[in-house]
C-alpha cells in the first residue's frame, strides 16, 4: 500500500467521512474548503493520526496549514520528516 493510499484510508476511517471511499479522493484534492467539508476539529484529528501512525508531531499551525492542504502535501511532509526524501 502506498503512503498516499494509507493516508486516504486513515482519513476516511478516523474522520468518519460518509459517502466517500479512499480511492475516490484525488491526491491533489483540497482537504479543507472542498468536497470533503473538513473543519478545524478534523484538522486536529488528522494531526493526532499522523503522530499515532507515523510518529511525527506537527507542532504549529503554520506547519499544519502547509502539510494538510492535500494528500500529496501531507505525504511529502511525512516523507521529509522521516528523512526518506
3-state secondary structure of 38: strand
pTM of the predicted structure, to 2 decimals: 0.92
Binned at pLDDT 50, 70 and 90, residue 85 comes out as: low
Distance CA(64)–CA(23), nearest Å, equals 23
pLDDT single digits (tens) 3-40: 999 999 999 999 999 899 999 999 999 999 889 989 99
Q: In which residue are the cell numbers 511529502 written?
A: 76
Q: How far apart are alpha carbons 29 and 25 in whole angstroms?
A: 7
Residues 67-76: pLDDT tens digits? 999 999 999 9
Q: Average pLDDT in the 50-61 region? A: 94
Amino acid at each position: 500500500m502506498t503512503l498516499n493510499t494509507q493516508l486516504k484510508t486513515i482519513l476516511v476511517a478516523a474522520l468518519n467521512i460518509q459517502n466517500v471511499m479512499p480511492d475516490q479522493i484525488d491526491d491533489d484534492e483540497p482537504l479543507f474548503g472542498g468536497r470533503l467539508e473538513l473543519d478545524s476539529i478534523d484538522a486536529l484529528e488528522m494531526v493526532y493520526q499522523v503522530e499515532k501512525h507515523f510518529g511525527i508531531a506537527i507542532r504549529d499551525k503554520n506547519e499544519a496549514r502547509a502539510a494538510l492542504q492535500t494528500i500529496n502535501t501531507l505525504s511529502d511532509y511525512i516523507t521529509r520528516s522521516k528523512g526518506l526524501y
